[in-house]
Amino acid sequence: MSALTQYLPSALPPPPVVLARGDAFFVRRVALAEGEPVEAQVTLALEGMAPFPPEQLYHGYLPAADGRSALVFAAFRRRFDALETELWEIAALVTPDFVPLLLVKPAGAGVTLRVAEGRVTALAWREGEDLPEVVIVRTGGPEQVAALLEEVRARAGLTAEAELIESVGDFTLRAGGEGEFTVFEGERLVAPLPVAWTAGADVRDPEFLAARRRAGVRDHWLWRGLLGAAAVLALAALLQVGSGGFGLLTRRREAQVGAQKPVVAQIDAAQMLANRIAELSEKRLMPFEMMAMINPARPESVVFQRLVTRGLLGLEVEAQAVNPEDVGAYANALKALPALASVQTREVRARDGVTSFILALEFKADGLKKGGAL
């Protein structure tokens, strides 16, 4: 563990989940119309069942998986004193204490029984239902069990042979992320609370819950904005440190380059001298070799008057011929030489029986290799 960890703030504890005493609630299974809002139907059902308007009740509901019914529970607000509701404002969920027991059900028709905390809770199930038909919570202890079982079986239409599941452990609900809650019996994991139940299971005022949700969304985005700002500041600090390190590295490189400049200048001068020597030794002019190559094909009537090189591979010849036909014949003979890339005849003039002309010759790059290195 890093030594800096001790200075970091510890994580905030998760908000509590409050299980309100179930004997304060009356519970009914109500039918729902398909396609209609569930909350509006629950409110309408409460208006018909309860002697108090919904505004004076703590109420909630759990919808069935098929959407055709819901388990509705409600309690008069004055049945809970200030001590019991002390943690309700900060709680993640406030729901009756019989709600976790709904996850402990028989395989078929039967009864789930729990005796704990001075209360006896009985849930009666019909075959294939995911919600109990009857929920009864009474204050007392084991002396209440026989009478309560008889009542709950009678109200649900069950026989005495129906399966009975007894639970004596303490149930708790633990909040997770994204509105998830998990049910534990002691330290034993029972099951996660169905997500479809989470919204309706809370018995607190709907306006209070809506305000909490809005505040939660606001706090969520504020926290993300704070994290984003912190990330930007961290990135800026990292870039600043990187810029300083890069500048230091650049200055060090520049110092190295400055120290090596004299050595580099000496190397460049030596390279230039070597290139010049190679150019003088390998790319020299060879006018005599050029003349030696074109002279064998020269007719006897053609006389060279002047030769001028044009670059390393070009040769310009000023000549005269007594026989005018020898001018064309000599040009054709030169074109047949493999060492020549091109042959041009220009400025052909005849005067006093003598024809003067100029031959512009271009040798191939490897045409003179036998006479000198190019």
| pLDDT tens per residue, range 177-212 | 667 888 888 888 888 888 888 889 899 987 777 777
Check whether 63 has a pLDDT greater than 50.
yes
Q: Provide the whole-model pTM.
A: 0.55
Both 165 and 17 in a single domain? yes
pLDDT of residue 358: 87
- pLDDT at 249 > cutoff 90: no
Q: Are residues 211 and 291 in the same domain?
A: no
Q: What is the C-alpha separation between 317 and 119, in angstroms, rounded?
A: 129
Same domain for 170 and 53? yes
Q: Which tokens hold the place of 123?
A: 């849930």
* C-alpha–C-alpha distance, residues 132 and 109, integer Å: 10
Flag whether pLDDT at 150 surpasses 90: yes
Q: Between residues 298 and 17, which one has the greater pLDDT? A: 17
Q: Which of 168, 183, 215 is the C-terminal boundary of a domain?
A: 215
- Residue-wise pLDDT tens digits, 220-236: 677 788 888 888 888 88
Contact 148, 158 (CB under 8 A): no
Is residue 299 a part of any domain in this protein? yes
Of 208, 168, 203, which is closest to residue 186 (Cα–Cα)? 168
Q: Are residues 15 and 110 in the same domain?
A: yes
- pLDDT tens for 20-34 read 999 999 899 999 998
**Residue 312 predicted with pLDDT over 80:** no
In terms of domains, do 51 and 180 share one?
yes
Task: Answer yes or no: do 188 and 320 share one domain.
Answer: no
Same-domain check for residues 65 and 199: yes
Which residue, of 200, 215, 230, is where some domain finishes?
Answer: 215
Average pLDDT score over the chain: 83
pLDDT of residue 364: 81
Domain identity same for 47 and 166:
yes
| pLDDT level of residue 94 (50, 70, 90 thresholds) | very high
Using CA atoms, how far apart are residues 249 and 243, in angstroms rounded to an integer? 10
Amino acid sitting at position 211: A
Residue 259 domain-assigned? Answer: no
Cβ–Cβ under 8 Å, residues 44 and 64: no
Residue 135 forms part of a structural domain: yes
Q: What angle do CA 319, 323, 328 make, to 5 degrees?
A: 70
Query: Is residue 272 in some structural domain?
Result: no
Identity at 247, one-letter amino acid code: G
110 in the same domain as 196 = yes
Residue with tokens 């703590």: 58
> Residues 178, 309: one domain?
no
What is the pLDDT, as a whole number, of residue 288?
78
Alpha helices in the chain (DSSP H): 38-49, 145-156, 195-201, 206-282, 287-294, 325-335
Q: What CATH number does residue 314 fall under?
A: 3.30.1360.100
Q: Is residue 115 part of a domain?
A: yes
Does residue 91 form part of some domain? yes
Residues in the chain: 374
Q: What is the dihedral of CA 257, 262, 264, 267, to 10 degrees?
A: -170
Claim to verify: residue 72 and residue 208 sit in the same structural domain: yes
Confidence of residue 133 (pLDDT cuts 50, 70, 90): very high
Of 215, 238, 255, which residue sits at a domain end?
Answer: 215
Structural domains in the chain (count): 2
- 126 within some domain: yes
| Same domain for 165 and 16 | yes
The whole-number pLDDT of residue 278 equals 64
pLDDT value at 372 more than 50: no
* Tokens standing for residue 39: 């909350």
Indicate whether 225 belongs to any domain: no
Percent of the chain whose predicted confidence (pLDDT) is above 90: 21
Q: Which residue, 20, 21, 85, 25, is CA-closest to 50? A: 25
pLDDT at position 374, please? 40
Domain residues for 144?
9-215
